[in-house]
Amino acid sequence: MIFVPSPPVSCQLSIVCWKVTIMAKNTCSIISEIEKAEESVKTCFYKVQAIEKSLKSHLISMEERERLEKELADVKSLLTQNESEIRNLRKENSKTFAVAVMIMFFAFLIYGIYVMVINPVKSRYIGYA
């Protein structure tokens, strides 16, 4: 739960603007979160490549090599965490899409039933029922 301080009481307009600003700061779409996680994965891949390239060098000391290997393990663990986060976000995005599709389906279903039962459109042609 996010702690939100009480809004200023000076006037009604400032309260409305304050609420809109707070809502804008707290809302973040799933797609933008996926994009942020993908950008983080790209950064991690770049770091992994750079660390592996420097580990191939024969001119580094043992302490430096151990530090780079530890850093490589940390970056790889961060990479797996980001990839699992992307999978979870995509799963959540597909659930949201499924709900939107179901709402549209039921809206068209209700409209179709309404048209079949009520039949608000009368035929303009004389010979057709």
pLDDT, position 128: 55
- pTM value? 0.56
Domain that holds residue 73: 22-97
The answer to whether the CB of 30 falls within 8 A of the CB of 92 is yes
pLDDT, position 3: 35
pLDDT, position 2: 35
Inside any domain, residue 55: yes
Phi, psi for residue 28 in degrees, rounded to 5: -150, 125
pLDDT, position 17: 35
The answer to whether the CB of 37 falls within 8 A of the CB of 79 is no
The number of domains in the chain is: 1
pLDDT, position 124: 59
Calculate the alpha carbon distances from 85 to 41, 78, 94 in Å: 10, 10, 14
Inside any domain, residue 118: no
pLDDT, position 101: 95
Inside any domain, residue 50: yes
Inside any domain, residue 57: yes
Inside any domain, residue 9: no
Phi, psi for residue 121 in degrees, rounded to 5: -95, 120
pLDDT, position 109: 96
The three state secondary structure string of 10-40 is CCHHHHHHHHHHHHHHHCCCHHHHHHHHHHH
Tokens of 69: 């290997």
Mean pLDDT by 10 residues, the chain (129 residues): 36 34 54 86 88 85 89 89 89 91 96 83 58
pLDDT, position 115: 85
pLDDT, position 122: 62
Inside any domain, residue 128: no
pLDDT, position 70: 92
Inside any domain, residue 44: yes
